[in-house]
Amino acid sequence: MNSKIVSWRGRRVWVIGASSGIGAETARALQLRGARLALSARNAQALQQLAGNHAETLVLPLDITDPNSVTDAHRQILAQWGGIDLVLIVAGTYNKMRADNFDLQQAKQLLATNLNGPLNCLAAVLPMLLAQGSGGIGIVASVAGFRGLPEALIYGPSKAALINLCESLYLDLRPRGINVYLINPGFVATPLTAGNDFAMPALISAREAAEKLIIGIERGEFHIHFPKRFTNWLRVARLLPYRCYFWLIHKVTGL
Ligand SMILES: NC(=O)c1ccc[n+]([C@@H]2O[C@H](COP(=O)([O-])OP(=O)(O)OC[C@H]3O[C@@H](n4cnc5c(N)ncnc54)[C@H](OP(=O)(O)O)[C@@H]3O)[C@@H](O)[C@H]2O)c1
Residue 214 alpha carbon to ligand 1 centre in Å: 17
Residue 21, Cβ density class (10 Å: 0-12 exposed, 13-18 middle, ≥19 buried): buried
The residue contributing the CA closest to ligand 1 atom 24 is 91
Residue 219 alpha carbon to ligand 1 centre in Å: 24
Give CA–CA dist 255/253, Å, rounded.
5
- Measured CA angle at 111 (ends 106, 117), to 5 deg: 130
Q: Is 155 a catalytic residue?
A: yes
Give CA–CA dist 196/203, Å, rounded.
12
Looking at residue 176, the DSSP 8-state letter turns out to be G
pLDDT in tens, 164-214: 999 999 999 999 999 999 999 999 999 999 999 899 999 999 999 999 999
Over range 39-54, report the average pLDDT.
Answer: 96
Q: What is the pLDDT of residue 241?
A: 98
Over range 65-82, report the average pLDDT.
Answer: 98
Q: What is the pLDDT of residue 55?
A: 87
Give CA–CA dist 242/227, Å, rounded.
25
Cβ neighbours of residue 7 closer than 8 Å, sequence gap 6 or more:
33, 34
Q: Which atom of ligand 1 approaches the CA of 19 most closely? A: 43
Residue 17 alpha carbon to ligand 1 centre in Å: 6
pLDDT category of residue 53 using cuts at 50, 70 and 90: confident
Residue 16 alpha carbon to ligand 1 centre in Å: 9
Give CA–CA dist 240/3, Å, rounded.
32
- Ligand 1 residue neighbourhood (C-beta within 6 Å): 17-23, 41-43, 62-65, 90-94, 113, 140, 142, 185, 187-188, 190-193
Q: Is 34 helix (H, G, I), strand (E, B) or coil?
A: coil
Q: Which of 14, 15, 42, 151 to mutate to test the pocket of ligand 1 (most atoms within 8 A of CB)?
A: 42
Percentage above 90 pLDDT, the chain: 98
Cut 0.85: pTM above it: yes
Q: What is the pLDDT of residue 251?
A: 96
Find the helix packing angle between 117-132 and 67-81, rounded to 10°. Answer: 30
Over range 24-34, report the average pLDDT.
Answer: 97
